[in-house]
């Protein structure tokens, strides 16, 4: 029995290594996809194959176990890892197609998709949806004076500040060069909406430090409600956009509702 001890120890160590790999691969995965499951099962089976082969050789020494069977877990691992890489690539591609690369916010395409679903839900539940179009005042002047790099930093900082006031049900998207659009679902009343919009206005009016120097930032916000101001997607978005331009015409750095003159 002593002569088998080193062999048993080495097989046990290999089994522990691959079973540990299965556990680590599974828990470290961001999502439990088919590739992750396949690779984890492959690693686990690979680990189990060592004590299984050892037990077979001791219990049924007259019959040689086909090595191809013991190698099957390796193919599971390879296929699983390849599937995982492919799934991650597809996920990244889909994310790039639906998000703005500068701010990492949803882009116009994703916003419109969410707006359709949210308005349909609000129509069924008879709740209010608010659409806010937010635009940076004098953004062209900032770009011309400080450069496009400074403009990009300003937009990234503003995206973070506006996100502070979003709930999980809401969505904030970058829908143009210096334009953001927010969708607020389930707004209780106009006072609640004015409070949120006012908080956004305050957050967007604090100077941003760029290259060690404060840069003044001002925004204009146009607000439209469904069903009060519009009952379809295009009309709601257009009403909020027109309200934003109305705020700019009145000097900017303010918010305006669609039904205000």
Active site residues: 178
Residue 188 CB neighbour total at 10 angstroms: 9
Q: Give the residue from 9, 253, 2 showing the smallest Cα distance to 136.
A: 253
Task: Name the one residue in this structure whose structure tokens are 């009952």.
Answer: 231
Q: Around 155, how many Cα atoms within 13 Å sit in the side-chain half-sphere? A: 26
Q: Helices 108-125 and 233-249: crossing angle, nearest 10°?
A: 110
Strand order, beta sheet including 255-257: 171-174, 179-185, 129-136, 219-226, 255-257
Question: In sequence order, what DSSP letters do the residues of 91-142 get, joined into one string?
Answer: HHHHHHHHB-TTT-SB-HHHHHHHHHHHHHHHHHHT--EEEEEEEETTHHHH
Q: Which of 178, 193, 261, 180 is nearest to 226 (CA)?
A: 193
């Amino acid at each position: 029995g002593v002569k088998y001890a080193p062999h048993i120890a080495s097989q046990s160590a290999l089994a522990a290594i691959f079973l540990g790999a299965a556990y680590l691969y599974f828990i470290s995965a961001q999502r439990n996809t088919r590739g992750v499951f396949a690779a984890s099962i492959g690693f686990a089976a690979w680990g189990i194959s060592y004590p299984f082969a050892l037990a077979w050789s001791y219990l049924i020494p007259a019959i040689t176990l086909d090595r191809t069977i013991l190698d099957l877990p390796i193919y599971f691992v390879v296929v699983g890892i390849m599937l995982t890489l492919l799934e991650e690539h597809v996920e990244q591609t889909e994310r790039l197609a639906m998000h703005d690369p500068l701010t990492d916010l949803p882009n116009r395409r994703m916003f419109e998709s969410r707006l359709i679903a949210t308005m349909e839900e609000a129509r069924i539940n008879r709740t209010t949806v608010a659409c806010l179009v937010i635009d940076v005042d004098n953004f062209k002047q900032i770009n011309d004076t400080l450069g496009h790099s400074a403009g990009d930093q300003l937009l990234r900082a503003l995206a973070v500040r506006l996100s502070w006031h979003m709930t999980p049900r809401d969505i904030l998207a970058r829908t143009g060069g210096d334009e953001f659009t927010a969708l607020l679902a389930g707004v209780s009343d106009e006072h609640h909406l004015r409070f949120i919009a006012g908080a956004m206005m305050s957050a967007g009016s604090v100077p941003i430090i760029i290259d060690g120097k404060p840069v003044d930032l001002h925004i204009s916000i146009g607000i439209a409600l469904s069903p009060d101001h519009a009952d379809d997607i295009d009309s709601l978005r257009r009403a909020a956009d027109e309200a934003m331009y109305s705020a700019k015409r009145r000097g900017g750095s303010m918010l305006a509702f669609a039904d205000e003159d």
